[in-house]
C-alpha cells in the first residue's frame, strides 16, 4: 500500500471507529451533551415520550404522557348556530366579508372559542457530582435499535448510559453502568413545571403527581430504581452509591380514558406497569425486536461524502455551504420513520404538532392537531415507508371526530354526516375555533377521511375498506351533499362559508375545498364500486361532483386560490392550499391537465421558496410532483438550513441540531413532510402506475431503497447509479396489474399475489 493511501485508510478507520461507533448512516451523534431542548434526543413508545439531554453532572429526562392536556370532556358545538348560516352566506355573496366574519364570530363559533393544550408532564434528573469534565464523551441516537446512549470517561472509569421507550413494557428504561466495580454514585429526583405537583419517595420508588392548572386531568409518574449498589432516601431524592449498574424504569399515566371519560386510575395503572416491568436485560432485546419489526422493513441509502463521518450537528452546519452530503438526507428520512414509530403506535393517540415531545405548559398552537395541513402531513410517509400500522392512531381519531363532528354538522349546518374544522384536541373538538376568518374551514374531516382511502390503496385491505374506511368516508361525503350551495354568479356548487387556509379570510368557494371534496367523492364512488354497494349514493356523488366549481386559471396565468381572480402575486404566504390538487391530491397532473399544472407552478413560483418548516416540506412534494427534481432539491436544502435573525434566534424553517424541524419553534410536521418529499422524487404511484425516479435530483446520483410501498399493493427494492436505474424488484401483495414507467418506457405486467418480480434497468423482466 502506498503511504498516502495507508494514512487515509488509517484516518478513515480512526474516524469511523472512534467517533461514529457503528453504522454512521443510522445514527444521530454528538460530541457534547445537549444544552437546549432542541439538542436533546427523542425516544417514545407512542404514548410516552422523552427527551434525553445526556448531561454529565446533571442528566435530564424530560418526559410526556400523551393524554395530559388541559380541559375536560365537553361538546364544543354551538347550539343553534345553523340559524345564522344563510345570513353569513348572503353577506359573503354581497362582498361583505367583514360583516360576515363579525356575524360568524358572534354566532357561529365553537363554545368555548379555543381548544385545549397538550402539557409537559415532568422531568427526572440524575446528579453525578463527581463526573466533572470527562473525556471521550459521545452521545447518540441509534435508529437501528431505538436507543439513546451517552458514554464518557471520568476519573479513569468509563460510564455508559442507555435509554429507550419500550412499547411492550409500556415504560421508559434508563440504564447506567460503570466500567469499574462499585464506581457509580448518583442521585435521582423528579420535578415538574406544573404549579400543582407533589413528589413522594417510597422504598426504591419516586412518585410524581401533577394536576393540570385548568381542567380535569391529573397524572402520576413513577420511577423505580434497581441497582447492585446501596440505595438510600435523602431529601426528596434517592441516592445510589458504590454501584456498578443501575436501571431506572419510568411509567406515567393520567385519569383520561377517552374523549368522554376521565375516570381512569393512574396510580394503579403505573404501579401495575412497574410491577410487571421486566429487568433491563430482558426488556432491552424485547424492545429492540418489537421496534425492528417495523424499522427493518425499509432502508434507504444515499452515497456518503467527506461530511458523513462527522457528528450530526457539524454535518448540518456544513450542509449550508456545501450541500454535498446525500447520506444526511437518507438519515433524515430514516429519522422521520423513527419519529413516527416513537409517536404513533397502535392504541396510542396520533402524533400531534410536536409528535409527543413537549416541554411546555403553553406550547405553540397548544401542540394540538391542526388539520388544515399539519396533522395530515405527519402521516404522509406512513404508507410509503411501510409503516401502515402507525397510521392506525389517526384512523381512531377520525372515528372519534366523526362522532363529535356529527353534532357540529347538525348544529352549525343542519346537515347530515360529519364535519371537522381546522383543529381538534384530545377532547375531539370539531367546531370552528379561534376566529371565523380562519377557523371556519370545512374540509378537515374530508381530508382526514382520504387517509383511510390511501391506506386501502397501499394495502389493498378490503376488510379495512369495508368496515373502517367507507363508513367514515361516506359520513364525510354526506355532509357535503347537504352543505354545498349554488354560487349565484356562476351557478356552480361551492363551499361556503369557508377559507383558503389562513389566507384571505372568510369566503365563498376556496379552490382547495373544491379539490378536496371532489377527491373525497371520487374515493367514495370507487369504494362503492369495489364493495358493490350504495350505487344510488355513488351516482348522487358523481352528479354533484360535476357541478362543483372547477379550477380556474387567473389573469397572471396562476391557479386561482378563490372563485374570484384576486390572487396577490407578491404574497409569500406559507400556505399554498390551492395546489392541494397537485399534492397530496392528484387532479392536477403533467399528463391529463398540463394547463392547470403550469398554472399551479406559476402560483408556487409567485409564493417563492421560503417558508416555515412544513411549508418548505410541502413545496418539496409540489416540485417533485411537477417532476422538477432540481427545484425539489433547492427546497430540501432549505429544510436543512436554519434561518437566523440578527439576534441569532431561529426565524425561519430549517433543522435544529437534533434534526427536529423548525417552524420555528419545533413542529414535527416538516420532519414527516420533508421525508415524504424526498421519497416523492424517487417514486410516485398516484396515477395508476409506478413512476420510477420521476424527479431524481442530480445531487442524489447513487442510491438504493428497499421496502418502499406503492399504491396497488406493491413493495419495491430499487437501485440506481449515476442517475440511472440499475435494478428493480417488485413484490406484489395483492396480485394487481403492475404498470411501471421509467422515463418514456412503460410496461404493464399481470402479477400474482405473493410473488416477487425482478426487472432490469430497461424494465425487462428478469427470470
Ligand atoms: C397552521 C399554520 C401555522 C402553524 C399552525 C400549527 O395554523 O398556519 O403556520 O403551523 O398551523
Rounded percentage of the chain residues whose pLDDT exceeds 70 = 97
Contact residues for 105 (Cβ-Cβ < 8 A; gap 6+): 435, 436
Does ligand 1 have an atom closer than 6 angstroms to the CB of 333? no
Does ligand 1 have an atom closer than 6 angstroms to the CB of 353? yes
Does ligand 1 have an atom closer than 6 angstroms to the CB of 574? yes
Model pTM greater than 0.85?
yes
Our mutation pick for probing the ligand 1 site, out of 367, 373, 665, 672, counting the most ligand atoms within 8 A of Cβ, is: 373
Please answer whether residues 148 and 141 qualify as being in contact, where contact means their C-beta atoms are separated by less than 8 angstroms. yes
Does ligand 1 have an atom closer than 6 angstroms to the CB of 421? no
pLDDT value, residue 311: 97
By mean pLDDT, which of 78-87, 178-187, 314-323 is the weakest? 314-323
Preceding peptide of 584 cis, ω within 30°: yes
User: Cell 418502499 appears where?
Assistant: 708
Does ligand 1 have an atom closer than 6 angstroms to the CB of 365? yes
Q: Span 459-475, mean pLDDT? A: 98
pLDDT value, residue 230: 98
Nearest C-alpha neighbor of 463 from the set 411, 515, 530:
530
Q: Span 360-367, mean pLDDT? A: 98
Our mutation pick for probing the ligand 1 site, out of 422, 447, 502, counting the most ligand atoms within 8 A of Cβ, is: 502
Q: Span 406-432, mean pLDDT? A: 98
pLDDT value, residue 5: 47
| Cα Rg of the chain (Å, integer) | 27
Preceding peptide of 665 cis, ω within 30°: yes
Residue 19, pLDDT > 50, answer: no
Nearest C-alpha neighbor of 71 from the set 19, 8, 119, 17:
119
Here the cell at position 484 is 354545498
pLDDT value, residue 9: 42
pLDDT category, 356, cuts 50, 70, 90? very high
pLDDT value, residue 13: 38
**How many residues in total does the chain contain?**
767
**39-98: per-residue pLDDT in tens?**
999 999 999 999 999 999 999 999 999 999 999 999 999 999 999 999 999 999 999 999
Q: Span 242-261, mean pLDDT? A: 98
Element (H, E) at 293: helix 280-295
Q: Locate the ligand 1 atom nearest the alpha carbon of residue 438 and give its number.
A: 7
DSSP labels, 372-399: TTHHHHHTHHHHHTT-HHHHHHHHHHHH
Rounded percentage of the chain residues whose pLDDT exceeds 90 = 93
pLDDT value, residue 92: 98
Q: Locate the ligand 1 atom nearest the alpha carbon of residue 667 and give its number.
A: 10
Q: Locate the ligand 1 atom nearest the alpha carbon of residue 422 and give its number.
A: 7
pLDDT value, residue 202: 96
**141-175: per-residue pLDDT in tens?**
999 999 999 999 999 999 999 999 999 999 999 99
Q: Span 714-719, mean pLDDT? A: 98
pLDDT category, 678, cuts 50, 70, 90? very high
DSSP labels, 587-643: SS-TTTTHHHHHHHHHHHHHH-S---HHHHHHHHHHHHHTT-HHHHHHHHHHHHS--
Q: Span 685-705, mean pLDDT? A: 98
pLDDT category, 438, cuts 50, 70, 90? very high
Residue 554, pLDDT > 50, answer: yes
Does ligand 1 have an atom closer than 6 angstroms to the CB of 612? yes
pLDDT value, residue 701: 97
**258-298: per-residue pLDDT in tens?**
999 999 999 999 999 999 999 999 999 999 999 999 999 99
Residue 667, pLDDT > 50, answer: yes
Mean model confidence pLDDT for the chain: 96
pLDDT value, residue 14: 39
pLDDT value, residue 514: 99
**505-538: per-residue pLDDT in tens?**
999 999 999 999 999 999 999 999 999 999 999 9
CA pair distance 74, 396, nearest whole angstrom? 19
Check the CA dihedral 609-612-615-616 and report its sign.
positive
Residue 11, pLDDT > 60, answer: no
Say how many Å lie between the CA of residue 319 and the centre of ligand 1: 27
Element (H, E) at 166: strand 157-166
**585-599: per-residue pLDDT in tens?**
999 999 999 999 999
Greater pLDDT, 641 or 730 = 730
| Angstrom distances, CA of residue 461 to CA of 75, 454, 456 | 34, 11, 6
pLDDT value, residue 321: 86
Residue 20, pLDDT > 80, answer: no
Residue 7, pLDDT > 90, answer: no
Say how many Å lie between the CA of residue 552 and the centre of ligand 1: 26
Please answer whether residues 486 and 557 qualify as being in contact, where contact means their C-beta atoms are separated by less than 8 angstroms. no
365: left (phi over 0), alpha (psi -120 to 50) or beta: left
pLDDT value, residue 646: 83
pLDDT category, 21, cuts 50, 70, 90? low
| Angstrom distances, CA of residue 652 to CA of 73, 638, 649 | 36, 9, 9
pLDDT value, residue 412: 98
SS (H, E, C) 332-378: HHHHHHHHHHHHCCCCCCCCECCECCCCCCCCHHHHCEECCCHHHHH
pLDDT category, 22, cuts 50, 70, 90? low
Residue 133, pLDDT > 80, answer: yes
Amino acid at each position: 500500500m502506498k503511504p498516502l493511501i495507508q494514512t487515509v485508510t488509517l484516518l478513515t478507520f480512526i474516524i469511523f471507529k472512534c467517533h461514529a461507533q457503528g453504522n454512521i448512516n443510522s445514527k444521530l451523534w454528538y460530541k457534547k451533551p445537549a444544552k437546549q431542548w432542541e439538542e436533546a434526543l427523542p425516544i417514545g413508545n407512542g404514548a410516552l415520550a422523552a427527551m434525553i439531554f445526556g448531561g454529565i453532572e446533571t442528566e435530564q429526562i424530560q418526559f410526556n404522557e400523551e393524554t395530559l392536556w388541559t380541559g375536560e370532556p365537553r361538546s364544543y358545538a354551538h347550539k343553534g348556530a345553523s340559524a345564522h348560516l344563510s345570513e353569513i352566506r348572503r353577506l359573503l355573496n354581497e362582498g361583505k366579508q367583514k360583516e360576515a366574519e363579525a356575524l360568524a364570530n358572534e354566532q357561529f363559533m365553537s363554545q368555548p372559542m379555543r381548544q385545549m393544550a397538550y402539557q409537559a408532564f415532568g422531568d427526572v434528573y440524575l446528579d453525578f457530582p463527581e463526573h466533572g469534565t470527562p473525556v471521550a464523551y459521545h452521545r447518540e441516537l441509534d435508529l437501528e435499535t431505538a436507543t439513546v446512549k451517552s458514554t464518557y470517561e471520568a476519573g479513569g472509569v468509563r460510564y455508559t448510559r442507555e435509554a429507550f421507550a419500550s412499547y411492550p413494557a409500556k415504560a421508559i428504561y434508563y440504564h447506567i453502568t460503570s466500567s469499574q466495580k462499585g464506581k457509580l454514585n448518583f442521585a435521582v429526583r423528579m420535578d415538574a413545571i406544573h404549579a400543582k405537583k407533589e413528589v413522594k419517595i417510597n422504598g426504591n420508588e419516586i412518585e410524581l403527581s401533577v394536576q393540570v392548572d385548568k381542567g380535569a386531568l391529573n397524572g402520576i409518574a413513577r420511577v423505580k430504581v434497581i441497582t447492585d449498589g446501596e440505595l438510600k432516601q435523602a431529601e426528596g431524592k434517592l441516592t445510589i452509591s458504590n454501584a456498578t449498574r443501575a436501571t431506572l424504569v419510568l411509567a406515567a399515566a393520567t385519569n383520561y380514558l377517552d374523549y368522554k371519560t376521565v375516570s381512569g386510575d393512574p396510580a394503579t395503572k403505573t404501579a401495575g406497569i412497574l410491577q410487571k416491568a421486566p429487568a433491563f436485560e430482558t426488556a432491552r432485546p424485547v424492545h429492540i425486536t418489537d421496534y425492528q419489526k417495523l424499522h427493518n422493513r425499509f432502508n434507504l441509502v444515499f452515497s456518503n461524502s467527506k461530511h458523513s463521518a462527522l457528528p450530526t450537528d457539524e454535518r448540518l452546519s456544513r450542509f449550508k455551504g456545501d450541500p454535498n452530503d446525500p447520506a444526511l438526507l437518507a438519515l433524515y428520512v430514516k429519522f422521520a420513520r423513527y419519529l413516527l414509530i416513537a409517536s404513533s403506535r397502535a392504541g396510542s393517540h396520533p402524533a400531534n404538532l410536536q409528535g409527543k415531545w413537549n416541554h411546555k405548559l403553553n406550547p405553540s398552537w397548544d401542540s394540538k392537531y391542526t388539520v388544515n395541513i399539519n396533522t395530515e402531513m405527519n402521516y404522509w410517509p406512513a404508507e410509503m415507508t411501510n409503516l401502515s400500522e402507525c397510521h392506525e392512531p389517526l384512523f381512531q381519531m377520525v372515528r372519534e371526530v366523526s362522532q363529535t363532528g356529527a353534532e357540529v354538522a347538525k348544529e352549525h349546518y343542519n346537515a347530515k354526516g360529519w364535519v371537522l374544522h381546522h383543529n381538534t384536541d384530545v377532547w375531539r373538538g370539531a367546531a370552528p375555533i379561534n376566529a371565523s376568518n380562519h377557523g371556519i374551514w370545512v374540509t378537515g374531516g374530508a381530508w382526514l377521511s382520504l387517509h383511510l382511502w390511501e391506506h386501502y390503496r397501499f394495502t389493498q385491505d378490503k376488510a379495512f375498506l369495508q368496515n373502517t374506511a367507507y363508513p367514515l368516508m361516506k359520513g364525510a361525503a354526506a355532509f357535503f351533499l347537504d352543505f354545498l350551495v349554488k354560487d349565484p354568479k356562476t351557478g356552480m356548487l361551492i363551499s361556503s362559508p369557508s377559507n383558503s387556509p389562513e389566507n384571505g379570510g372568510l369566503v365563498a368557494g376556496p379552490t382547495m375545498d373544491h379539490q378536496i371534496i371532489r377527491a373525497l367523492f371520487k374515493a367514495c364512488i370507487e369504494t362503492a364500486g369495489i364493495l358493490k354497494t350504495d350505487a344510488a349514493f355513488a351516482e348522487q356523488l358523481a352528479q354533484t361532483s360535476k357541478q362543483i366549481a372547477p379550477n380556474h386559471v387567473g389573469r397572471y396565468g396562476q391557479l386561482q386560490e378563490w372563485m374570484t381572480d384576486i390572487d396577490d402575486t407578491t404574497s409569500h404566504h406559507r400556505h399554498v392550499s390551492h395546489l392541494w390538487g397537485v399534492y397530496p391530491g392528484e387532479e392536477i397532473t403533467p399528463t391529463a391537465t398540463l394547463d392547470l399544472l403550469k398554472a399551479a407552478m406559476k402560483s408556487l413560483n409567485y409564493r417563492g421558496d421560503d417558508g416555515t418548516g412544513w411549508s418548505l416540506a410541502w413545496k418539496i412534494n409540489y416540485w417533485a410532483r411537477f417532476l422538477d427534481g432540481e427545484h425539489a432539491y433547492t427546497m430540501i436544502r432549505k429544510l436543512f438550513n436554519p434561518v437566523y435573525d440578527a439576534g441569532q434566534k431561529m426565524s425561519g424553517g430549517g433543522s435544529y441540531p437534533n434534526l427536529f424541524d423548525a417552524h420555528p419553534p419545533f413542529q414535527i410536521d416538516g420532519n414527516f413532510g420533508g421525508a415524504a418529499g424526498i421519497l416523492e422524487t424517487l417514486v410516485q404511484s398516484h396515477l395508476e402506475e409506478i413512476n420510477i425516479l420521476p424527479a431524481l435530483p442530480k445531487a442524489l446520483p447513487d442510491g438504493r431503497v428497499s421496502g418502499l410501498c406503492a399504491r396497488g399493493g406493491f413493495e419495491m427494492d430499487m437501485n440506481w447509479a449515476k442517475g440511472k436505474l440499475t435494478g428493480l424488484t417488485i413484490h406484489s401483495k395483492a396480485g394487481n396489474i403492475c404498470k411501471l414507467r421509467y422515463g418514456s418506457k412503460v410496461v404493464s405486467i399481470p402479477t400474482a399475489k405473493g410473488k416477487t418480480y425482478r426487472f432490469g434497468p430497461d424494465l425487462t423482466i428478469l427470470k
